[in-house]
A and B are shown apart, each in its own frame.
Chain A
Amino acid sequence: MVDILAFESVTIEHKGRGPVPNRILYDVSFSIRPGEALGLVGESGCGKSTIALATMRALPPGMKVTAGRILFQGQDVNLLSDGDLRRVRGNRAAMIYQDPMSSLNPVMTVGQQLIEVPMLHHGMDRGKAWKRAVTMLHEVRLPDCASMMARYPHQLSGGQQQRVVIAMALMAEPALLIMDEPTTGLDVTIEAAILELVRDLRAKFGAAVLFISHNLGTVARICDRVGVLYAGRLIETGTLGSVFRAPAHPYTRGLLAALPRLSLGRRGRLEPIEGTITVGDRARIGCALSPRCAFSQPQCDGAEIAMHPVGQDQEHVARCVRLDEIPARPVSLAAARPHVNDSDYDDVEVLLSVRELSKAYGLGGRFGGKGKGSIRAVDRVSLDARAGMTLAIVGESGCGKSTLAKVISGLTSASGGEALFRGVDIAGQSVDQRPDDLRRRIQMIFQNPDSTLNPSHSIEFALVRPLKRLRGMSRAEARDEVRRLIERVRLGSDVLACLPDQLSGGQRQRVAVARALAGNPDLLIADEPVSALDVSVQAAIVNLLSDILEQSHIGLAIISHDLALVRHMADWVAVMYLGKVVEYGPADQVFAPPFHPYTDALLAAAPEPDPDAGPPRVVLGGAMPSAAEEIRGCVFASRCPRKIGAICDEVVPPVRHFGKHTIVCHLDLRCGDDAHASRRIKADPAPGFSL
């Protein structure tokens, strides 16, 4: 049987301004059999999206296939006539994109965009195409399909938009579905639902899938086989099980070891791959990983490296000459920090005590927002941050976690409740009103490495300024201190003269950490500090933060949507939904039953790179309601899979105590609840994956 898609030693180059063309992909070979799902994983810049576009012969201007062939159902894509190419695109091969909002035409209704496909490819008339589109919307489980057809993309939620894009791709029942980061940017619970949908539709329509992602966990949910890309090269391919259980290439091993996992708990330290990928790595002759690889030997450089079989498995190959010599490297099991018991928390100083804190934003009204009601971004939240410990605030977008961070940091002020920092209420004080010393004590690390540093100022400027402002240093003193700071975040002093755009994302985030440390703070607030970074870089920043906490007595409040990361870092965890804390307590207790139904769903949805993971046990429907809605009962009632009945909608749920652990729910979670007994966090059979 002919492969649906086959790449045969494909090299793609971009002709830049320089004399030598820029290599984007080199010697990439793989094939997808009918009905099979192949996952391609890799970090940013590895060339994975180029593969998707090359398949559709839609490379950006300047890029060209310079060697090898791309065969779609046996035909060379680059030899097709324009007409034949159009009969492939959208018909026999369809694509699903990363950002559904921008891939839908904003001025056309969903229906208009859907019916184009069968009208174009199957010559259907408008009426029949319309009917088919409605059926397809039903297939992707959108509610109220008939009225959905008349809506514009901006009237749908992100999850709904992606369902529309999927429906559009399936309209012509293609033989190949290309999915380029289809769930990136969606919330975890929405992501889980979309992935489940894709699994079901695959079974139903039998399409082969090329699934491209940076996220090993999502690949594990969808794919039969995986390929790992690094610097434009496919460096390892094999079945999902063999690659994830017994990764052979040092890079694949590194990726898996760098990833925090729910199942690993707080054990272990993440193992980043040192260094960063550079533009030059794509053009290297020899192993592209060599400059970063701990096992690199002279034989790795100088000559191109072929794929070598891994063990007996014919399907499992890796592009490494030293496969047999690289020692198995067990995941470090040494605890980064000692395990804490309940009583350990009692004598730790509480730095910040948040009580019944609220933040409401006025809606549209010109006079203090009284006119049209308000959004309760944060609604009577109570929690504590302790010196030398990490408090994680976890939840999906719109849950109020970032607003809470802003209130604490003073970037906005609370509208109710108090936040006692060492006994002084800071809730109503915006940062401009705080005394200098207080400002120094609470500092912040931001999410986006692209905007955390001012692109117009050098790194030295970015670090000297806070030293002068917050510690009153002279220029000379500050210059010395800057060198100490930059060493503390493990950067060389050569970065000081650079502008931010000359640094990688990871380096910029290190500078941001150094800037936050400049004032010797007591409390650091980190808002998604690593979510925009690649896995291998993320691990290094996480380790850096852990080390800093260990060395000093700083308290850390980390805001994150990533449960695995939170599991890895946190001592205390607060789970937020729609402005409320629904579960709060020491990490080990929050991550063990009983769970709040929302925590339970989050844990189930978190994608783990586990080849044996079945479908998630709980998949939430719908989306988080708007914070402007009046909710009388439980905030989670509209999506709760374990909703009891009217009481959930009508009555505010009670706070239930389990030791230091609190859950806000009507369910009496204490007494013999079978649903929970079955759902323990899966104990890892073999710790990690012994390599």
Chain B
Amino acid sequence: MNEMDRNLAAGQPAAAVAVTPTEPAKSKSVRGRTWLAIRHSPIAMVGGSIVAFWIACALFAPWIAPYPPNKPDALLLAYPYPSAAHWLGVDNLGRDILSRLIWGARTVLTVAPVAVLGAATLGIILGLLAGYRGGWIDAVIMRTGDTLLAFPRIILYLIIIARFGASAFNIILVVTVTAAPIIARIVRGVTLDVRNRDYVAAARMRGESASYIMFVEILPNARGPLIVDLFLRLGFTTVTIGALGFLGVGLPPPDPDWGGMVKETYGMIFIWPHMTLFPAAAISSLVIGFNFLATGLQEMARDG
């Protein structure tokens, strides 16, 4: 989980996430053109489909999950493997794996987006302030962020979660606090570039307030790099949630959590490998989905 290291990289000039302001291509509406472009990018289509599949699972879990996710049935352990009744088999307590995966999608797809949105909100505000105001405000914000980033992220999680206990709220809080400095870096980078553009000068010439300039003139131009980063970050956060679950400090049982499902059944991999492999595959596919979407969007941003 080298999320932190990656994130540090995002502050470097030509890192994987391009920090250039959006210069949209020729077409009518922004949303319309994004959709059109996605259809031209195979990688984004694949990523989008995977993510859409899991979103559908999460939304309609009560209707499509064949069994209740937390109902153990020790009798089923006689034949726990995939069967007509249990497509993906049952786990070590005899709970239906498919149902648990479907309900687990709901958990991860709630916690990850909320955490990322929290980080984005905080990061955007701090980044805009640091980039536009400069001076000591910039120094304080970036210095604090750097100190947070200097902390090996997984260890920070461990310390905080061990201290305050494992809960969805704490995970969201930790991701928000630790991802915000990285988003702030990206927004600051765009802000530093955009604030010297002539249209910002024109806005100052008509006496616009600093907050108007930051949110109306500058922020919309950061949407390209931001959207790409948010998708990457959704991926990272999914990995984080999974890893915390695997380490036993994730969401408290018995509610299904993909990382936790791997942990609970990991000891039985030699006899019942499917119990471990299916949740591992589920989480991998969702992260691949997010990352493919980000890659596709990035390619499109470059090609215009």
Contacts and interface: CB of A to CB of B under 8 A. Distances in A.
Interface of A: 17, 409-411, 431-432, 434, 436, 439, 442-444, 446-448, 451-457, 462, 465-466, 469-470, 499, 501-502, 512, 515, 519
Interface stretch (B1-9, B19-27, B77-85, B117-125): B19-27
A439 B207 contact: yes
Nearest to A447: B198
Given A499-B24, A501-B24, A452 B205 contact: no
Given A431-B205, A455-B22, 16 more contacts: A17-B40, A431-B207, A444-B205, A447-B198, A451-B197, A452-B198, A452-B199, A454-B199, A454-B217, A454-B220, A454-B221, A456-B220, A456-B223, A457-B216, A469-B208, A501-B26
Contact of B198 (A410, A448, A457, A499): A448
B201 interface: yes
A444 B201 contact: yes
A94 B302 CA distance: 31
- Interface hub of B21, B24, B199 (most chain A Cβ within 10 A): B199
B271 interface: no
Given A451-B197, A454-B199, A443 B26 contact: no
Contacts of B201: 409, 411, 444, 446
Interface string B215-228: 01100110100000
A1 B197 CA distance: 54
Contacts of B24: 455-456, 499, 501
A431 B23 contact: no
Contacts of A442: 205
B206 A470 contact: yes
Interface string B89-113: 0000000000000000000000000
B205 A439 contact: yes
A439 B198 contact: no
Contacts of A462: 199
B204 A446 contact: no
Contacts of A411: 201, 204-205
B205 A501 contact: no
A515 B208 contact: no
Which 4 pairs across A and B sit closest by C-beta, in order of nearness?
A456-B220, A446-B198, A454-B199, A451-B197
Contacts of A436: 207
A143 B67 CA distance: 84
Nearest to A279: B26
Contacts of A431: 204-205, 207
Contacts of A452: 198-199, 202
Interface string B12-52: 00000000011111100000000000001000000000000
A344 B178 CA distance: 69
B197 A456 contact: no
Most buried by B among A432, A444, A454, A502: A454
Given A454-B221, A455-B24, A502-B26, A443 B205 contact: yes
Contacts of A453: 199
A432 B207 contact: yes
Contact of B202 (A446, A447, A455): A446
B204 A455 contact: no
11 contacts: A409-B205, A436-B207, A439-B205, A452-B198, A452-B199, A454-B199, A454-B220, A455-B24, A457-B216, A465-B206, A469-B206
A443 B207 CA distance: 11
B206 A456 contact: no
A411 B196 CA distance: 11
A439 B205 CA distance: 6
Contacts of A469: 206-208
B206 A501 contact: no
A394 to B, nearest CB: 21
B205 A410 contact: yes
Contact of B204 (A432, A447, A451, A501): A432
A410 B22 CA distance: 28
Interface residues of B, number: 22
Contacts of A456: 22, 24, 220-221, 223
Contacts of B220: 454, 456-457
Nearest to B200: A454
Nearest to A448: B198
Contacts of B208: 469
B135 to A, nearest CB: 10
Contacts of B23: 455, 501
Contacts of B199: 451-454, 462
A439 B220 CA distance: 26
B12 to A, nearest CB: 16
B52 to A, nearest CB: 25
Contacts of A465: 206
B290 to A, nearest CB: 25
Contacts of B223: 456
Contacts of B26: 501-502
Nearest to A519: B206
Contacts of A466: 202, 206
A264 to B, nearest CB: 31
A373 B136 CA distance: 22
B206 A439 contact: yes
Contacts of B221: 454-456
Nearest to A527: B198
A38 B299 CA distance: 40
Contacts of A455: 21-24, 221
A448 B199 CA distance: 10
Contacts of A515: 202
A466 B206 CA distance: 6
Nearest to B40: A17
Nearest to A468: B206
Nearest to B220: A456
Nearest to B201: A411
Nearest to A446: B198
A470 to B, nearest CB: 5
A447 B207 CA distance: 20
Contacts of A409: 201, 205
B220 to A, nearest CB: 4
B38 to A, nearest CB: 15
A554 B240 CA distance: 62
B49 to A, nearest CB: 22
Most chain A CB atoms below 10 A, which of B21, B205, B223:
B205
Nearest to A466: B206
A439 B202 CA distance: 11
Nearest to A431: B204
Given A411-B205, A455-B221, A501 B198 contact: no
A454 B207 CA distance: 16
Contacts of B216: 457
A411 B208 CA distance: 13
Interface string B125-145: 000000000000000000000
B145 to A, nearest CB: 20
A628 B208 CA distance: 34
A627 B40 CA distance: 51
A487 B85 CA distance: 73
Contacts of B198: 446-448, 451-452
B205 to A, nearest CB: 6
A469 B213 CA distance: 13
Contacts of A446: 198, 201-202
A152 B76 CA distance: 74
A653 to B, nearest CB: 35
Interface in B231-250: none
A512 B205 CA distance: 13
Name the residue in B25, B26, B201, B208 with the highest tally of chain A Cβ atoms < 10 Å from its Cβ: B201
B136 to A, nearest CB: 10
Contacts of A432: 204, 207
Contacts of B21: 455
Q: Which of A411, A448, A456 has the most CB of B within 10 A?
A: A456
Nearest to A444: B205
A144 to B, nearest CB: 32
A519 B205 CA distance: 11
A512 B198 CA distance: 10
